[in-house]
Amino acid sequence: MTPKPRICLWYAVAKIALLVGVWFATTAHISIPNPTRDPGLAAGRNYAMAALAPLDLKALQEFRNRLELTSDPEQPMGLYVEGIMAYPIIQQPRSNPAYVSPQPDTLTEFALARRYGSLGLLAHNDRAGQSFFALQPGQDLWVIFGEGNLRRYRIIAIERYQALQPTSPYSSFVDLDDPTRATLSASELFLHIYDRPGALILQTCIARNGENSWGRLFIIALPEEATVPPIPLQ
């Protein structure tokens, strides 16, 4: 029997939101917790020191040149993090808001996040999502968009949550970095994370105790447009 793909997403929230057609507004609480690594997915640790390396413009240019760019200046095409990742970004099928690329080095744009003005990128934690565990607050992320233009983001928060019902799309969540905080429903957590216009959010699962969908990891970054230096890429 072919095993079912391990999908760790917000497909129930997406379905409910699309059916009801109501988009809730919330004031997002932004914190910078201690980014403790999950012991079950520590592959990214090997790259932690890469955050200290200067930007390699040649490597960034080569990565951009490999992407199949489009004429849409707002469509994300690739994500580059010095010494950690250089991954292309694909789109979800219109009929499948739970889709995540099965390719090992590919990110998927979360279509529902765009409804709230944020850019959500998804990856399985046993594939491209492993690299998310290497990221640190204050680190720069570079997104290449359709016409080849660059936008720099800086990580402001790393948030981790335990899913109380790991295999249920309706699970409630506990903040692992602030256990005293009230339990959040799936909808509340979705809004807390993604209702941030202009933000970039990376999402993957946290594996623990043999459960691949035990928790959720979110990397939250804001654009640094005012401080982006000229990048002479051709």
CB atoms under 10 Å from CB of 19, counted, come to 8
Q: How would DSSP label each residue in the chain? A: -PPPP---S-HHHHHHHHHH---------------PPPTT--GGGGGGGGGGSPP-HHHHHHHHHHS---S-TTSEEEEEETTTEEEEEEEPPTT-TT----STT-EEEEHHHHTTT-EEEE--TTTGGGGGGG--TT-EEEEEETTS-EEEEEEEEEEEEEESSTT-TT--EEETT-TTSPPB-HHHHHHHHH--TT-EEEEEEEEETTEEEEEEEEEEEEE-GGGPPP----
Position 115 scores a pLDDT of 94
Position 14 scores a pLDDT of 46
Position 80 scores a pLDDT of 97
**Mean predicted confidence (pLDDT) in 2-20:** 45
**Mean predicted confidence (pLDDT) in 160-187:** 92
**Mean predicted confidence (pLDDT) in 26-37:** 29
Q: Are the beta carbons of 107 and 122 closer than 8 angstroms?
A: yes
pTM of the predicted protein model: 0.78
Domains of the chain: 55-223 (2.40.260.10)
User: Bigger pLDDT: 8 or 71?
Assistant: 71
Residue 18's pLDDT band, with cuts at 50, 70 and 90, is: very low
pLDDT above 50 for 170 = yes
User: Which of 12-26, 88-102, 217-231 has the weakest average pLDDT?
Assistant: 12-26
User: Bigger pLDDT: 37 or 122?
Assistant: 122
**Mean predicted confidence (pLDDT) in 197-214:** 95
Which residues, other chains included, contact 1 with Cβ-Cβ below 8 Å and sequence gap of 6+?
A: none
Partnered with residue 91 across adjacent β-strands are: 109
Position 51 scores a pLDDT of 47
